Structure 1
Amino acid sequence: MQEQNIPIDIQTSKLLDWVISRRHCAKTWPQQITLIREKINSAIQDMPEHKGITKLLTGTYINYFHCLQIIEILKETEADTRSMFGRYGSQRMKDWQEVVRLYEKDNVYLAEACQILMRNVAYEIPGIKKSIAKYEQIQHDTEKKEAECVKNAQDFRDKYKSLANQLGIEGKNIKSELTDLLGSLPEMYKEVAKQAKNTKEAAAFYRSFLGQIITNNSELTCLPVLQYIIEHGNTTVYEWRYGEPPLRIEEPVLFVEPEAPVTTDDAIDFGDAAIDFGSSDVELETGDIDWGQIDMLPDAHEATIDFSTIEDAELGIVVQEAGVEGGVAKDNEALTMLDYHKTRNMFLDDLAELEAFLRQRLIEIQATAKESKMGFSFSQSHSSTEKAPQELEAMLSHVLSTLDAINRPKLKNLALIRESPRYVDRVANSLQQHLRLADKVDGNRTTLAERRRTAAAEQARLQPTLKKLIERTKELQADIEKNISKKYNNRPVHITGGVTSL
């Protein structure tokens, strides 16, 4: 192979050092390029209107090879200023010819072109690509987060509807709707009491079983509230305590804070909280009253009783009994057994006790049956209280049905509202919190959508810039290879690791 055909391979990262070490350029070229850049900035201020010049001056850094193309264009636009000796009288042409002359002195253009190529390959093009990849990743992430926001917002709204349905309201005006539902509590308690009657057999079985186990206790009591409701229904607490229905019931007034409370300056604000006098009952001490020593009047034994006004006052007489305020059920005593939280909790305790007993007894009977098949048994049998597993399962089913009836979310929430009006605010805030979270998620989705659109716009703006920069860098690399080849008798020159590798 002839020496002229041997290619010259130059690594892009070492291109500038290579041309300086071969003495094609001087080390002082940066000082010379400063003057050239000033000349170019001055010449650009006065340029003719031409599509080719506009294309050259936009979107790239002007170098020596661009100046050569500008001169070729000026030869057309400034042709009328050319003299018979081939010189141009146009100042534009003189300025750009001066720029080219300064570039060619000491091959400053070659050093600058090598530096531009190295910078484009190492920094500019990878930087734009990295920005485009970042904006693409932002779009991908925001699209994913937007989908999550839509799903979460819908989940919050579905949760709101589900909770509203559990409470039996539409959810448009939570406080007033919940307050209106309080009228359905008596009917719901009536249903629970009806379910409790189905546990009569189970309660009797439990009492009979305990009677045989505990023989010394003649006055055995178990499941007192459950047994009472089975026999008498959901009566008032007054009747449960005193054994007779009240003459009159004065139910406590429920006060629920309105949606938009209105207050006046003349009115005294006592606050919206109900006064809690405690739930314990007042017990009066009984005993003989010591009236002291009473001195009788001399003629006291001769006094007669006038019964003439008895008939007129008969209607106003109220018989008062010990511990009972005239037969009037007030405050907690006016509530029903299931409406009063203490007796309702006792009712729940009785059901839980009965459930635990039935489950344990069912396990014991099943274990006894298994041991009998194997020929031995360690369990004591009480023939009078023995029940088949199917009967125990039926009893247990009735107990669980009663528990489910009284533990319904709607009934429990209404019972809490009945006891504490402030609970309405907590329920309303709890429900509305789901809607507030849904609105917040929607706001986040709007922000994410705006961010995604901004990233897409930036990506669309950078794509043409990247494409143009790659094209100009390829042209610059080809010009550098061509100029270096001329210095070595047109030997082929290859700049490796250049723009073609990106």
Structure 2
Amino acid sequence: MSYEGESSWLIEVDPMPLYEKNTPTGPGNTHRTGTLHMASVSTGLSEDGDNSPDTSAPLDGKKSMQEYITEISQLNSAIDEFSKIIQTLALFKYYIRNRKGNTNVEELHKRFNTFSVKCANKVRMIQQHVNTVNRDNHYAMSHREKLGFSYSDLRARFNMQDASVNRLKTLMETYQSVIKEYTAAAKTIDDASQAATGANSAPAPAAAVTVAQSLPECNEEALIDELKSKSKDIMALEKNAKDLNQLFTELNMTIKKRGENIYNLEQQILLSAEQIDKGKEDMAIALKARCGQVLNWVMARRKTPDDCHKRLLALEDLCKEFFKKHANLPENVKQLQKHVLSEYTEWYEVLTEITEKLKEVEDAEKVNFLGQYTFEPLYEADKILRTFQKHNLQIVSYCQLLQKHVTYNVPSIKKSIETVNREVLLACHCLPSSQLLDFKNRKADSTRKLNSGTTELRNRLKVYGIDLDEFPFNKDFKVHIKVRLIEAIVNKNANATIENYRRTVELAQLICSEILPVFVSFIRLHGMDDLYAAGDTMANIKQAAESGMAVVTSDGSKGDSDEKPEQGEDASSDCVIQLVKDNDQIPLDEGKRKQIFDTNLGNPAFRQLVMGEVMELRTFVKVRIDEMQNRSDSANYLFSQAGDKINACVQTPVSKYEAYLKTLDEAVELLSGTEAMKALSLLKNRNELDKFAQVELDIFNRCCNEIEEQASLTKRIETTSDALQKLAAELETARATVRSTKAKLEKTAGDVMGEPLRIFGEVDEI
């Protein structure tokens, strides 16, 4: 696989003679002269462009960029020598084309072959250098991360190789062209020599034969040689004339092209001069440059060294060591030691201030014969400051400080401000575009909820006789108010239960005096005495009316249980045991507890029996009302055999029955109604009592939460405000630093360059 910038080509040298001339020396004999050994050179570049390196060649290992540059320099030196040899071969081509009659062609061929062999050897040497460069580049590309090379370093390596290889390709083409032209010229000379030899060997006229016979044999050979040389001179003159004609034609074309190029160059020079004048005018107004390009501009004019960053780092280390080395500095100088711990310090201004303050010391006035300060701290500070000024490193420091603030500090502070504002909006559960709420609106809403909750809680606690002002909204008072509330709930329900028992006794007495005689009259009227004994009819209601609120002792409870049905005995004892067990943790007064749980109505079984009898009487009354309202004919009974008393009770009007029904409904509600059962449940079960109290205290908890929310919102408002103020102060400080540094950089760089400077770009957007 080939890569851009890669060059791998093979140079093949053929040392065999390319041209030989056979000169006849006599009948049947030939003499080989003018042997021309040409080097056949090939770059080895295939038509498809495959120039892959020889993968079998071993890698030389890691090479630094400096070693690579050295190798490239050796390659370029070899190419330069190769170019000089080609120039020499081109001179041979000129000599053979423009030779004179007495030119020794064979000697010319020998020398040409000598330089051709040198050229072939040089090509082999260049091949070795190119292979080495290829291996180095492949190694660097495959081990880039290990060697610590960046892609720009690899690009630079391949660019240097490309430049050398392209130059070498051009020289190889020139070399092949010179070889080809010289070979063609030598072949032309050989053909002309053979033609002249054939013409001299043809039959001569008689006069010529006579003259030839009369001349000595040596004069004949000399004449033949002279004729040959003359014919060669004539052919050479003709060839030179053609070459000169072609040369003049090419020269005219070159002169014409150069004339056009000169005209274009003149136009470009004039245009460039106008642009330069305009640029000078613009620069006189203001030189606009981005802050990142100022340093490049100064370095391009050689006002600052290329390694200015390294020099600045070294000076910064010297500045930090200055405070460590000199401990006995004046107090006004020691105060500047804080810059050592800063993230980034512009040391030029600090050193200037240090130097000015050290000059105020008494020892600062002493100097040696060279004019240097003898006071060591001042001498070292002045030395570092002079180094700054010598290489204009303060420009580098200003650029770094400006770049740091513009690129990092100011955007970071702005991002922090946006983050704080975004957190505020998210905390308010609103979109940034809507801006429905903020912390202050939430605090006002919380205050409104607190006021409404306080009013509702005050009304609820007022029912239990508790003053809310005695308990501030604090979770520490939650236990106290709960204990107070439980006591109030127990007392309220205990009083309500006792009052219910008393009202039940009153209703039982009313039932026994008014409703029960009517019911007994109907029993006797219909002859149902076998079902309802006269003494046992509605016995539980009678007992409730007589002793419903009486406290039952152990003996009394036993005696009472004997009068009650047997099925209620076990249920009553179990209930009393469960009651005592569950009632231990309820803050109930002992007297009230006995009235509620140790009376007949406090016994659930007895209350259930009374409830059954009341429901039976209620059914009787409802049926009687229905008969009298809807079936009045069948309701008229004849009581001829009955006495007047029975007849009067049975014939009670409907309005009276309706009053009886209301009394019975009230009794049912007192015995098994929701409110009555709930009150008893709260007095018996601690868990139910706690749940009920917790429900009443939910508003108190909500009010406490609202107060905490207000405190949290107040704190967040203060924290957010402080954070925004702090970030705004940091942003303003950074902006002031940027403006100050920008002004210093413009002035310093402008003074160094001798031209006014104005920086624009990102620095204007902070």
- Using the size of structure 2 for normalisation, the TM-score is 0.36
Following superposition, the deviation at residue 186 of structure 1 comes to: 5.8
The reply on whether 1:31 has 2:310 as its aligned counterpart is yes
**CA spacing shift, 1:421–1:493, aligned 2, 3 Å:** closer
Using the TM superposition, give the Cα deviation of residue 469 of structure 1 relative to its aligned residue in structure 2, in angstroms: 3.4
- Please point out which of 387, 392, 401 is paired with 1:116: 401
The question of 1:94 aligning with 2:359 is answered no
Residue 469 of structure 1 is matched in structure 2 by 734
For 1:33, the aligned partner's letter is L
Structure 2 CA distance for partners of 1:443 and 1:143, relative to 1, 3 Å: same
**Structure with greater proportional helix content:** 2
Structure 1 residue 95, shift from structure 2 partner:
1.8
Secondary structure of 1:491's partner? coil
SS in 2 for 1:89: coil
Q: SS of the residue aligned with 2:359? A: helix
Q: What one-letter code is carried by the residue in structure 1 that aligns with 2:485? A: I
1:68 aligns with 2:332: no
Equivalent position of 1:7 in the other structure: 286
Q: Does 1:180 align with 2:491?
A: yes
Q: Distance in 2 between matches of 1:410 and 1:74?
A: 95
1:126 & 1:343 partners in 2: Cα distance?
89
Any residues of structure 2 matched to 1:296-335 within 5 Å, and which? 331-335=603-607
Report what 2:458 is aligned to: 161
Amino acid at match of 1:36: L
2:299–2:306 contact (8 Å) kept in structure 1: yes
Q: Structure 1's 113 and 80: CA in aligned 2 closer, same or farther, altered over 3 A? A: closer
1:48 aligns with 2:321: no
Kindly state the Cα deviation for residue 34 of structure 1 after the two structures are TM-superposed. 2.1
> Which whole-Å CA distance do the structure 1 matches of 2:443 and 2:315 have between them?
53
**Given the superposition, is the C-alpha separation of residues 31 and 488 from structure 1 closer, same or farther in structure 2, using an over 3 Å criterion?**
closer
For the residues of structure 1 that align with 2:703 and 2:386, how far apart are their CA atoms? 70
Shift of residue 256 of structure 1? Answer: 4.0
Q: Aligned letter for 1:50?
A: N
Q: Deviations over 1:192-211 (max 9, x none)?
A: 9x9xxxxxxxxxxxxxxxxx
Aligned residue for 1:427, secondary structure, equals helix
Alignment of 1:140-219 (within 5 A): 150=447, 157-165=454-462, 173-181=484-492, 182-185=494-497, 187=499
Measure how far apart 1:493 and its partner are.
Answer: 2.3
Cα deviation for residue 457 of structure 1 reads 5.2
CA shift digits 1:285-304 (9 cap, x unpaired): xxxxxxxxxxxxxxxxxxxx
Question: Partners in 1 of 2:537 and 2:308 — Cα distance?
Answer: 111
The structural deviation recorded for 1:117 is 0.1
The residue type paired with residue 688 of structure 2 is Y
1:423 aligns with: 688
Q: Are the counterparts in 2 of residues 146 and 445 from structure 1 also a CA contact under 8 Å?
A: yes
1:168 and 1:62, CA in 2 relative to 1: closer, same or farther beyond 3 A? same
Classify 1:22/1:418 alpha carbon distance in 2 versus 1 (closer, same or farther; 3 Å). Answer: same
Range moving further from structure 2, 48-57 or 460-469: 48-57
- Any idea what SS the aligned residue of 2:330 has? coil
Q: Which amino acid aligns with 2:313?
A: T
Going from structure 1 to structure 2, the CA distance change for 1:22 and 1:336 (only over 3 Å counts) comes to farther
- What is the CA distance between 1:72 and its match in structure 2? 3.4
SS at match of 1:120: helix
The alpha carbon displacement at 1:125 in A equals 2.7
Q: Matched residues in 2 for 1:123 and 1:410: separation?
A: 73
TM-score by length of 1: 0.51
Tell me if the contact between 2:291 and 2:760 (Cα under 8 Å) persists in the aligned partners: yes
CA distance in structure 2 between the aligned counterparts of 1:126 and 1:477, rounded to whole angstroms: 17
The C-alpha deviation readout for 1:420-461, integer Å capped at 9, x for no partner, is: 454212112333454345445545555555555555555565
Total equivalences in the alignment: 339
* Code of the aligned partner of 1:469: A
Displacement of 1:480: 0.9
**Mapped partners of 1:420, 1:343: distance in 2:** 28
Could you tell me how far apart the structure 2 residues matched to 1:250 and 1:239 are? 24
**CA separation in 2, counterparts of 1:35 and 1:185?**
95
Q: 1:130, CA displacement in angstroms?
A: 4.3
Q: Contact between 2:446 and 2:709, CA under 8 Å: does it hold in 1? A: yes
Matches for 1:310-389 after TM superposition, within 5 Å? 331-335=603-607
Whether the 8 Å CA contact 1:146–1:448 is kept in 2: the answer is yes
> Residues 162 and 469 (structure 1 numbering): CA distance in 2 closer, same or farther, change over 3 Å?
same
CA distance in 2, matches of 1:239, 1:329: 19
The separation in 2 between residues aligned to 1:95 and 1:19, in whole angstroms, is: 27
SS in 2 for 1:123: helix
1: CA distance between counterparts of 2:463 and 2:760?
76
Task: Give the AA of the match of 2:458.
Answer: K
Say if 1:87 and 1:56 are closer, same or farther in 2 by CA, change over 3 A. Answer: farther
Q: Distance in 2 between the 1:131 and 1:335 partners?
A: 75
Identity across the alignment (%):
14
Which blocks of at least 5 consecutive residues in structure 1 are unaligned?
A: 195-237, 262-327, 351-381, 385-397
SS at match of 1:173: helix
Residues 417 and 424, structure 1, Cα contact 8 Å, conserved in 2: yes
Cα deviation for residue 5 of structure 1 reads: 1.6
Deviation at 1:40, TM superposition (A): 0.9
Counterpart Cα distance in 1 of 2:541 and 2:613: 15
Q: Distance in 2 between matches of 1:32 and 1:139?
A: 47
Aligned partner letter, 1:476:
T
What does the per-residue CA deviation read over 1:12-58, in whole Å, with 9 as the maximum and x for residues that have no partner? 35555555556554453332222111111122454433399759959
How far 1:496 moved relative to its partner? 3.1
CA distance change for structure 1 residues 492 and 412 in 2, over 3 Å: closer, same or farther?
A: farther
* Residues 477 and 495 in structure 1, CA contact (< 8 A), matched pair in contact too: no
Q: State which drifts further: 108-117 or 46-55.
A: 46-55
Distance in 1, matches of 2:733 and 2:396, equals 22
**Distance change >3 Å, CA 436–CA 23, structure 1 → 2:** farther
1:393-436, CA deviations, whole angstroms, 9 ceiling, x for partnerless residues? xxxxx9xxx9xx99x99878536425745421211233345434
Does 1:497 pair with 2:766? no
What is the CA deviation profile of residues 450-482 of structure 1, one whole-angstrom value per residue up to 9, with x for unaligned ones?
Answer: 555555555565555544433232121111111
Change (3 A) 1:435 1:16: farther
Q: Distance in 2 between matches of 1:190 and 1:80?
A: 111
Q: Distance in 2 between matches of 1:191 and 1:14?
A: 102
Name whichever of 136-145 and 475-484 sits farther off.
136-145
Kept in 1: contact 2:443–2:714 (CA 8 A): yes
What's the RMSD between the two structures over aligned residues?
Answer: 5.3
1:361-393 CA-to-partner distances (Å, cap 9, x unmatched) read xxxxxxxxxxxxxxxxxxxxx9x9xxxxxxxxx
Please point out which of 750, 758, 764 is paired with 1:485. 750
- CA deviation vs aligned residue, 1:86-127 (integer Å, no higher than 9, x gap): 542222222222222333454333223212101112221333
AA aligned opposite 1:175 = I
In 2: Cα distance, 1:27 partner to 1:464 partner: 38
Asked if the contact 2:289/2:760 (under 8 Å) is kept, the reply is: yes
Q: Deviations over 1:280-326 (max 9, x none)?
A: xxxxxxxxxxxxxxxxxxxxxxxxxxxxxxxxxxxxxxxxxxxxxxx
Aligned residue number for residue 264 of structure 2? none
Structure 1 residues 114 and 153, CA gap change in structure 2 (3 angstroms): same
Q: Which amino acid aligns with 2:315?
A: I
